[in-house]
Amino acid sequence: MKIISRLIILFFLFIAGCSSTVSSDFLIPGASVDNISCIAVLPLKNKTQDPNAGNAVADILSIDLMKHQDFNVMDRMEVERVLRERDIYTPDGISPDDAAGMGIILGVQAVFAGEVTQYYYKPSSLPTEGAVPTVQLSLSLIDAATGQVIWTGKGTFTPSGLLAEGTPPITGVVQEGIEALLGSFYNGINPRAQASSRVCWYDPNTIFSRVIVARPQIPQTPRAAAQAPQRQAQPAPQQQQRAASVERPQVQMPPAKVSILNASGNPRASMLVGVALIKDKINVVNVSTEKYSKPRTIVYYRANYYDQALHIARLLRKMPQLVESPTYKWDITVMIGKDLK
């Protein structure tokens, strides 16, 4: 089957006039994307001298995915809007290591991430020919729930000297190259058609309804609020006295930038917590995994963010510890422990 797929790709490249070197495959044996309906194309890492290369390739990739109608594809402008809203957008692109966390923040089931390493017009060795547009890129499809890379592909593309006349546009080479690169990916999808009018992102109730667990609402009683600070993990005496004080100064702080750090050993735990916070309009700006697991969940917060940290703690299934700490980069960091997995 793989031999037939590669022959089809080579035939397509010949008739399309695109010369290429392509490798692509599903990384998991028997992998399927049949349970994935909603995806987003993240800003691609641009490692070229052309400042527009990453956006140009990402736009063409999104259009190609929409054209095949196998997925509902989040509009690229909407992707940028949500990332800018959370102050985590970067025009330099998002690395595959951070892609799964971005998928949770965007509210999609999977994301395409990758990089563009060549995007230029190569001078021709023949005086009768124009410059040769050359594109090199790599792409990965990453499951937002598990962070697992489902499919990956990379290729280098130039127009065929037999069919190209003059200097063809580089965007045409990108379009033909993406079709060739995604050939094995499309071949692995069972025939289906998504409703283009369905908006399936940024709504965790719709996207992750299968994995959200029903949890009882924790009543916001004075007793619960008074108990929370007492559960701090060995705080300094001055810190414990401050946390227990009812005379906490009321400082109006902007909405906290919240990071989710998964130390539970369960990759889906970050999705469950991320969904719960995003549903409550919490500004989640980072989702990552801790190398070593932790037994208990802790909510770390910077000075003056106690009230917002307590609100976040009450959204979780079990009341976590609250610890004031300047150690972490963001205003509030939710360290998910084994008690929430």
Q: Label the pairing between strands 321-324 and 298-301.
A: parallel
The tens digit of pLDDT for each residue in 68-118 reads 888 889 888 888 888 888 888 887 788 777 888 888 888 899 999 999 999
SS3 229: helix
CATH no., domain 222-340: 3.30.70.2390
The tens digit of pLDDT for each residue in 129-171 reads 668 899 999 999 999 888 889 899 999 998 865 445 566 788 8
Determine the residue type at 221: T
Q: Which helix (H) or strand (E) holds 138?
A: strand 132-143
Determine the residue type at 180: A
Q: How far is residue 161 from each of residues 9, 19, 94, 128, 277, measured CA to CA in Å?
A: 18, 8, 34, 12, 54
The tens digit of pLDDT for each residue in 275-329 reads 778 778 888 887 777 777 889 999 999 999 999 999 999 888 788 999 999 888 8
Is pLDDT above 90 for 331? yes
Domains of the chain, by residue range, sit at: 2-207, 222-340
Ranking 83-97, 191-205, 250-264 by mean pLDDT, the lowest is 191-205
Angstrom distance (rounded) from CA 270 to CA 263? 9
The tens digit of pLDDT for each residue in 23-71 reads 777 776 666 787 888 999 999 999 999 988 998 899 899 888 888 888 8
- For residues 77 and 11, the model is more confident at 77
Q: What is the pLDDT of residue 261?
A: 86
Give 17: exposed, middle or buried? Use CB within 10 Å, 0-12, 13-18, 19+. middle
pTM of the model: 0.64
**235: number of Cβ within 10 Å:** 20
- For residues 333 and 15, the model is more confident at 333
Q: What is the pLDDT of residue 26?
A: 76
The reply to whether domains 2-207 and 222-340 share a CATH topology is no
Q: What is the pLDDT of residue 29?
A: 67
Is pLDDT above 60 for 232? no
Q: What is the pLDDT of residue 306?
A: 94
Q: Which CATH class is domain 2-207?
A: alpha beta
